[in-house]
Amino acid sequence: MRRSYYTNKYLQRIARKVISGKALESEKRFLDQYYDFFESADNGMDELLENEKQLLEKEIWKRLNNTTRKTGSQSFKLYSLSRIVAAASVLIIFSAGLYFALRWPAATSFVQKTHPANHPITYGSKKAVLILSDGSKVILDGRSGGTIVRQTGVEISQASDGQIVYRAISDNAEAAAKNFNTMQTPRGGIYQIDLPDGTKVWLNSASTLRYPLAFSGNERKVELEGEAYFEVTGNRQMPFKVACKKQLVEVLGTHFNINSYEDELTGKTTLLEGSVRVNLVNTGESKILLPGQQAIVRQSELKVKNVDTENVMAWKNGLFQFDNEDIHTIMNKIARWYDVEITYESGLKTMRFGGTVSRYSDLQMVLKKLELTNTIHFKIDGRRITVMK
């Protein structure tokens, strides 16, 4: 078969008709050819990691169940489940705008290596730097456990799973509250910390969290640059606040994610559970979010929209999950996680992509999956990635 392009809607419509037994003979033959190609083509499915396969299986069953529920049919007479899974998988993995490009056997990857690194560029891992209030630094790699240090009535330890835990060993919270520690994750790093009040924080790559050794007074306030997910311990007498460059987020007890990188044009706060208030730093405008809503801060503008929280939390769950995102936003995420430099070929048009891929794949595998759209290609030169047409 020659290279062709089909809209996702077109392929999904035919698949639903086949499942419900309403497909025309020509449509059945088309899917026959499509399945035969998919099973024989070098489409990268064998290289999927186990968590990707589980994600695909979950999504496929959801789509098939939705289809049969709408049609009232449970007929799978003409096509085996394995073939439907294969076809659905390739639809789910990657799309570009409304189009999905089939990668026929004759197509080859354009991921070029001019001066490859000594080893493949691998994914990030648990690593961070803990900067203590006296300026000393502790290098964290998620491996060693036990007590790290004692400061002003607080014991800081590392659990067996790598997370940092704060525990009060005296009642002098007022003195401890005057001292601040800082957790920094580098590019290619990720880490979890339990704050003195029991609040859990997951830091994404290239992020910084500054916080006191203990909370006292009438609020619990921390400072964030980058991205983090919070599960806040409830305390109505001491609201929890996260200060970012453009926004101040106030909560009581809730689960939320903040994305506030210095090199991004927007700051985003997404609520999963509970309630938060997002305040614009420069104007004082504020919005209260409900679960499933996201506040977007851009310059002096604050907007709220409904979002898919699974997409927002994909990074914490070990995935890149893109929802019609532009190539620059996608490559920024890749650059932080793999610690690489991104350059762009002149004249490159803005393109949008959607799909899911494991964050625990080697970089070249992620780029190859983006190339399945046949609209974009990459060149690797050491740790520099050039995005090309």
C-alpha span between 272 and 257 (Å, rounded): 8
C-alpha span between 223 and 177 (Å, rounded): 14
| pLDDT (tens digit per residue) in 173-201 | 777 888 899 999 999 999 999 999 999 99
C-alpha span between 271 and 292 (Å, rounded): 6
Q: What mean pLDDT do residues 32-36 have?
A: 56
> For residue 7, what pLDDT is reported?
44
Q: What mean pLDDT do residues 16-38 have?
A: 60
| pLDDT (tens digit per residue) in 74-90 | 333 333 444 454 445 44
CB-based contacts of 32: which residues, under 8 Å, 6+ apart? Answer: none
Q: Look at residues 43, 123, 8, 89 and name the one whose alpha carbon lies nearest to residue 356.
A: 89
Q: What sign does the dihedral 305-308-314-317 (CA atoms) show?
A: positive
Residue 95 tokens read as 């799309």
**106 and 167 Cβ atoms separated by less than 8 Å:** no
C-alpha span between 364 and 380 (Å, rounded): 9
Confidence of residue 238 (pLDDT cuts 50, 70, 90): very high
What are the CA-CA distances from residue 210 to residues 70, 240, 277 (Å)?
50, 14, 20
**Residue 237 burial (CB count, 10 A):** 7
